[in-house]
Amino acid sequence: MDKMILGLLLLKELTIYEIKNYIQTYLSDMSSSSMGAIQAAIKKLLANDMIEYNECVSNGVNKKIYHIKETGKDYFLKWLSKPMSSKKAKNIEFSKMYFMGLVMDEKRIDLIQAYIDEQKTNLKDLYEIRNNLPKIDKRVDEFIESNMDNPKHLEQLRSCAGKQTNEECIRDIATFNLATLDYGIQSTEFEIRWYENFKKKLEKGKYYE
């Protein structure tokens, strides 16, 4: 959670509610979006001097706007520069499949179907996000335009990736953002197909022959 927050704050200064909404909308498959978990991570990052905040009043409401410090950026990039590890991608819910043979026969089909239905809803949401996103060229232009009054931020992003131009840097960021969304769509489609096929085998009483 702390590393994800650092990455988000490297891209943009955010309030804690904006962090929660972003994770809930785009990164729910990667991290919890519970306010408690986010607050704990924020507290840890503040204690380790990796982030700081400015306070402001908007529409009569006091807000804390968090932004990353150089120490946080260095820590995040050090973590990001290491290869991904499949051993850390755990899904405790999947263990229910391992033990489902202990469930009464008549309930197994319902449990599988409930998961299929949930994944179909997730897939619909993912497609809605994908269809509502602007084209990559527009995303690049909008991001750069929104940061024209903060050239140091754009310079910081360019330095992270070693890019010469804002366009090249933001295009690369957007490309990998979209890649995670495409992965989510394709992996969800695969799960739906797999579980529907397995459910048919259960209904026929033929598992593995």
Residues β-bridged to residue 67: 52
- pLDDT, residue 208, reads 62
In the structure, what pLDDT confidence band is assigned to residue 209 with cuts at 50, 70 and 90?
low
Encode pLDDT of 69-78 as tens digits: 999 999 999 9
**pLDDT (tens digit, 9 = 90+) per residue, 111-165?**
999 999 999 999 999 999 999 888 888 888 888 888 888 888 888 888 888 888 9
How confident is the prediction for the chain on average, in pLDDT? 89
Residue owning tokens 């804390």: 64
Please report the pLDDT score of residue 90 as a whole number: 72
Closest CA to 178 of 120, 117, 124, 137: 137
pTM assigned to the model: 0.81
